[in-house]
Amino acid sequence: LPREGLPSWSIVHLHQPTGSLPRAASSLCKKISWDQLSQHFNKPSKVACKELGICGTSLKKVSRHYGIRQWPYQRAA
């Protein structure tokens, strides 16, 4: 569960591709809740990024926001 005192969601700022048309600021941000994030703990981080629609750096920032130091997915040895 998320730590006490933290909001129940984290905002990720998405980068605009070079040469693209200007977009509204709201389309450059994405809210990711603890529930959304925790549904992907059983997947590799690359798969979770693709399904959440964010890059690896953003996934790390959201994870750190919720107090997760390392992505919890572990390969079976």
pLDDT per position as a tens digit, 10-63: 666 665 555 555 555 445 678 888 999 999 999 999 999 999 988 899 999 999
Q: What pLDDT does residue 75 have? A: 73
Q: How far apart are CA 48 and CA 75, in angstroms?
A: 14
Q: How far apart are CA 38 and CA 35, in angstroms?
A: 5
- Pick the more confident residue, 4 or 53: 53
56-65 and 45-52 helices cross at what angle (nearest 10)?
A: 90
58: enclosing H helix or E strand = helix 56-65
Q: What pLDDT does residue 26 have? A: 47
